[in-house]
Amino acid sequence: MNHGNYDHEPNQKINWQIIRIVWPYLMVYRSRVLLALGCLIFAKVASVMGPFILKYIVDALQSDTSKLIAVPLALVLAYGFARFANVLFGELRDTIFGRVTERAMRKIGLEVFRHLHNLDLEYHLNRRTGGLSRDIERGTTGISFLMRFFIFNIVPTFIEIFMVVGILLFKYGWGFALITTVAVVAYVSFSIIATEWRTKFVREANIADSATNTRAVDSLLNFETVKYFTNEEFEAERYDYELGKWELARRKNRLSLFSLNGGQALIIATAMTAMMWLATSRVASGTMTLGDFVLINAFMIQLFLPLNFLGFVYREIKGSMANIEKMLHLLEVSPSVNDKPEAEPLKHSAGNIEFSDVSFSYQMDRKILRNVSFSIKSGETVAVVGASGAGKSTLVKLLFRFYDLNGGKITIGGEDISDVSKKSLRQSIGIVPQDTVLFNDSLFENVRYGRPSASDEDVSQAIQLAHLDGFIRQLPEGHHTKVGERGLKLSGGEKQRVAIARTILKRSPILIFDEATSSLDSKSEKTILKALKEVSQGHTSLVIAHRLSTIIDANKIVVLDQGSVVEQGSHEQLLGHGERYAELWFAQQKEQQ
């Protein structure tokens, strides 16, 4: 699986497949789309009628003075109605189609969000949160722009061009039609070529924007570490370096936009001048009326306004497609850990857990686990101990099936966990992790996260069982206290109790305690250990421990050393062996003296 960087080469060509991908989201509301297209046609008819009415007004003003009041007045009212109808049908079109684009943005945004949560742990360890959120935001906005402007600006502009060229050819001869056609072809060709050239600057600006945002988010998330090392100025310099690259990219983008707009303006000015010169000579020779001159002038202004806008739309569509492309690449990233097609829910979640010859490595040249075998009987508590880097926490990730094994198997109640659905497996396991991360919400809602469908009574009961209620009573806002981003307003012991309450609420038959007290002081540790002991009664428990004093009551202790099981037995048995466990035990006892 590729977890690489998705900032594509700046000169990469536009991916027209995006239209095909986005189209089905349009078709969900085909009746709305058709109604909006109907409004579009009425708006264009009203738009083309305007210059004709203007011509008749001017001609009427030049003709018999007896008609000076009645005829022009009627035509002026008709002209006003045509202008109003053009705007009204345009607004109706946008309003009707707005629902389509908003729903498409919602559906695609949700699809990307679900997909990201479905990706494996490795992807999320390597991702850049700030840049990723910007990619999704720009991608969904790009889809809205693409849908709205491709259908309702590019298509109607070309419809109007064909109508105007046809009218000029039929009514005024090939000269006017030729100038208009050449101007349109030159304008569109120049816009496409110049936009293709400057798309690389749009991409570079996006890459710089994402990098700047990533740097800011990363620094602010770790603001405590920044302050510990007084690295505020260092962080500011790094951020300024990214801002410098962003500034340079934006400057290139702006200068290329100047070149594009200047070229487009030159083409329009040349065409308008040629048309006006030809029309003026025809009026002077008497082959055209002053009304015809006004009509041609109105047509040209009316035509080049949307055509000028077309240049902007094409540029924006190019930028939008670059943004959408990046977001769609997220959907192309496939998880490395997948359910088998025939995967069924875990049936015997309360059964024995067996690790049989389990081997695993994050990288091929560095083995983490080597033929690890041990069992946890239903209702038992088994502890895994060993030096840092022995592979203890990796066992937890493998039991949750965040990664697939390189060799061996893990079974629960005789079922291989690779054969059951990931959702049912993870629903069967509750965990109190070493570092509990909380959402920036109330304390009560953070506990409810263990089972979002739980009632308030169930959440309150879990809080009591985790011995968290005494602490909550001391808080001015009680249950409603906000915990801060990632739970920064709570101490380590308080966060651990929230994690215990969550796990109680989840009501999983299998419990994992991953060094749940390693960062606590001795008083907090005793309180937490008491709570853990109460919680684990009647459950199958796996305890990953650093402090051996916390697991002397375990039914069995498994000792890991450099990825292999070197000893198994009870606390007394392992001390009696006088081997690796005994060494660790006496070393820790000495440290505590």
CATH architecture label of 348-428+511-519+539-593: 3-Layer(aba) Sandwich (3.40)
* 229 burial level (CB within 10 Å; 0-12, 13-18, 19+): exposed
Nearest to 142 by CA among 104, 196, 99: 104
Dump pLDDT digits (tens) for 134-189: 777 777 777 777 777 766 677 777 777 888 888 888 888 888 888 888 988 898 88
> Pairing relation of β-strands 564-569 and 407-412?
unpaired
Q: What pLDDT tens digit does each residue of the chain (593 aa) get?
A: 333 333 344 444 556 666 676 777 777 777 887 888 888 888 877 877 777 777 777 777 766 554 555 556 776 777 777 778 878 887 888 788 877 777 877 888 888 888 888 777 767 666 656 667 777 777 777 777 777 776 667 777 777 788 888 888 888 888 888 888 898 889 888 887 887 787 778 778 888 888 888 888 888 888 888 888 888 898 899 889 988 988 988 888 888 888 888 888 888 888 888 888 888 888 888 787 888 888 888 878 777 777 766 666 776 777 777 777 777 777 777 777 788 888 888 887 777 899 999 999 887 777 888 899 999 998 888 999 987 777 888 898 899 898 888 899 999 988 899 999 988 998 899 888 887 778 888 888 888 988 899 899 999 988 888 878 888 888 778 888 887 665 566 777 778 888 888 888 888 888 888 876 665 666 666 777 777 777 777 788 898 887 888 888 888 999 988 888 998 999 899 898 888 889 888 887 877 65
Nearest to 489 by CA among 218, 224, 216: 224
Task: Pull the structure tokens for residue 85.
Answer: 């109808």
436-507 and 348-428+511-519+539-593 share a CATH fold: yes
Terminal alpha carbon distance of the chain: 50
The reported pLDDT for the residue numbered 357 is 93
Task: Pull the structure tokens for residue 425.
Answer: 């497996």
In sequence order, the 6+-apart residues with CB closer than 8 A to the CB of 256 are 194, 197, 198, 201
Cα 231-235-241 angle, rounded to 5 deg? 145
Contact 14, 39 (CB under 8 A): no
CATH architecture label of 436-507: 3-Layer(aba) Sandwich (3.40)
How far apart CA 169 and CA 174 sit, in angstroms, is 5
Domain spanning 17-332, CATH class? mainly alpha
Task: Pull the structure tokens for residue 565.
Answer: 């099981």
* 541 burial level (CB within 10 Å; 0-12, 13-18, 19+): buried
Cα 168-172-175 angle, rounded to 5 deg? 80
Query: Which amino acid makes up residue 411?
Result: T
Query: What is the residue extent of each domain of the chain?
Result: 17-332, 348-428+511-519+539-593, 436-507
